[in-house]
Amino acid sequence: MNKRVFGAFFTLIVVPLFLCYHAMPVFSEDTTVMTFERSSYLAATGTMFNVTVVLKDLSKQMVTWQLALSFDSNVIEYRNVSLPSDNIFAGKDVLTGGPAFDDPGYVVFGATLLPNETTGVRPSVNGSGKLCTFEFFAGNTGNTNLTLANQPVDTFLIENVDERDIPFTVLNGSVHVDTFLADVAVSNLFSKSLLGQNYNSNVTVSIENQGLNTETLNMTVYANLTLINQTNIVLGGQSASSYVFNWNSTEFSFGNCTLWAYVAPVTNETDLADNNCTSTIPVHVGVPGDVSSAAPGVYDQVCNMKDVAYLIILFNTRPSSGNWNSNADVDNNGVVSMIDIAISILNFNKHE
């Protein structure tokens, strides 16, 4: 290559490549986050609870981590730290360091991967996973932050290439310790509002366990003063559920019924105001098939051709239909069909 050709090659190929390389943005891999499995924890005074530190979106190959966690030791007391069986280093040979304390509210802990005994190869990991689980005792009512120090000395992740630090950000957490720990509730009660005598309604009761521990809810449901259902429901802490049962109105005379549900207090429960719930809409037990009148969809205590005509308009509607009216599903089978129309005709001219 003579000088002129080389000069042209340098100017046309090398210089643009060089400029191009430097003009390209440096790809940031600083998307790794060290945080907690939950952003906030609730704990009952006098009980033990776990806090797990996790890594998210680790893009580099990591061989070592170390973290420092600070908290208010007047609220929660450190008891133990360990690697959960499904931690990010699971299945590999691991060496842990610590825990070490600067004061009762500051724990330092870490782990590193060892080379495989047979192959001598040191494994590494990336992705997302658990680092360690701290066990705390909830000593006193109050709040504390869970703060992960993000300083080179106390908290870091190490990459296997040249033992370099992997950049990451931290998202801190918090703990609320309180004594309100057992609290069950009935939040809602729903039934169709019109029930043909001797026919059925699905009654849905919404229940909650606002406490932290799993509870067995002993629930009773009444229509006026008559017990219509009794059940025990196991519900995990901080969760809600719906319970549906079939209510048969055979033993009820014509008239309005008020539905209400009650859950018995559980051990140590103090908030009893939410342990019962009354349906806002009374349920009318009437002549089967009396579902309408001059006012469409409003019963008038007599079954006649107005009812039959109304049922024919709603023929073949289901709960998914825009004009679904559960009161028109007299036999409670989930569709307004010829059976419902037949019930209305069978009760033609019957009064309450």
Residue among 77, 135, 274, 352 that touches Ca ion (CB under 5 A): 274
Total count of residues recorded for the chain = 352
How much of the chain is in helix, strand and coil states, percent to nearest 5?
10, 45, 45
Instruction: Give the number of other Cβ atoms within 10 Å of residue 285's Cβ.
Output: 24
Q: At closest approach, how far in Å is the CB of 259 from Ca ion?
A: 19
DSSP element (H, E) containing 3: helix 3-9
* Residue 227 · residue 211 · CB < 8 Å: no
Residue among 72, 154, 215, 340 that touches Ca ion (CB under 5 A): 340
Compute the distance between CA of residue 48 and CA of residue 25 in angstroms, rounded to an integer.
49
Q: At closest approach, how far in Å is the CB of 48 from Ca ion?
A: 24
Q: At closest approach, how far in Å is the CB of 285 from Ca ion?
A: 14
Task: Candidates 57-65, 121-129, 188-196, 290-298: pick the segment binding Ca ion (CB under 5 A).
Answer: 290-298
Q: At closest approach, how far in Å is the CB of 172 from Ca ion?
A: 32
By CB under 5 A, the count of residues binding Ca ion is 13
Task: Candidates 19-27, 197-205, 311-319, 330-338: pick the segment binding Ca ion (CB under 5 A).
Answer: 330-338
Compute the distance between CA of residue 139 and CA of residue 63 in angstroms, rounded to an integer.
36
Alpha-carbon Rg for the chain, nearest whole angstrom, is: 34
Contacts 24+ apart (CB under 8 A), 152-155: 154/66, 154/67, 154/68, 154/108, 155/34, 155/66, 155/67, 155/68
Q: Is 169 helix (H, G, I), strand (E, B) or coil?
A: strand
Please identify, using beta-carbon distances, which residue of 149 and 194 lies nearer to Ca ion.
194
* Residue 113 · residue 151 · CB < 8 Å: no
Which of 57, 120, 122 is closest to 89 using CA atoms? 122
Q: At closest approach, how far in Å is the CB of 257 from Ca ion?
A: 19
Q: 305-324 mask for Ca ion (x: CB under 5 A)?
A: --x-----------------
Q: At closest approach, how far in Å is the CB of 241 from Ca ion?
A: 15
Regarding 331 and contact with Ca ion (CB under 5 A), the answer is: yes
DSSP element (H, E) containing 22: helix 15-23
Residue among 271, 326, 342, 345 that touches Ca ion (CB under 5 A): 271
Compute the distance between CA of residue 326 and CA of residue 317 in angstroms, rounded to an integer.
10
Q: At closest approach, how far in Å is the CB of 71 from Ca ion?
A: 30
Q: 132-171 mask for Ca ion (x: CB under 5 A)?
A: ----------------------------------------
Please identify, using beta-carbon distances, which residue of 72 and 329 lies nearer to Ca ion.
329
Residue among 72, 154, 208, 300 that touches Ca ion (CB under 5 A): 300
Please identify, using beta-carbon distances, which residue of 157 and 341 lies nearer to Ca ion.
341
Within residues 176-215, the interface with Ca ion by CB under 5 A covers 183, 185
Which of 219, 209, 146 is closest to 180 using CA atoms? 209
Q: At closest approach, how far in Å is the CB of 327 from Ca ion?
A: 11
- Which residues here bind Ca ion, judged by CB under 5 A? 183, 185, 271, 274-275, 290, 293, 300, 307, 329, 331, 333, 340
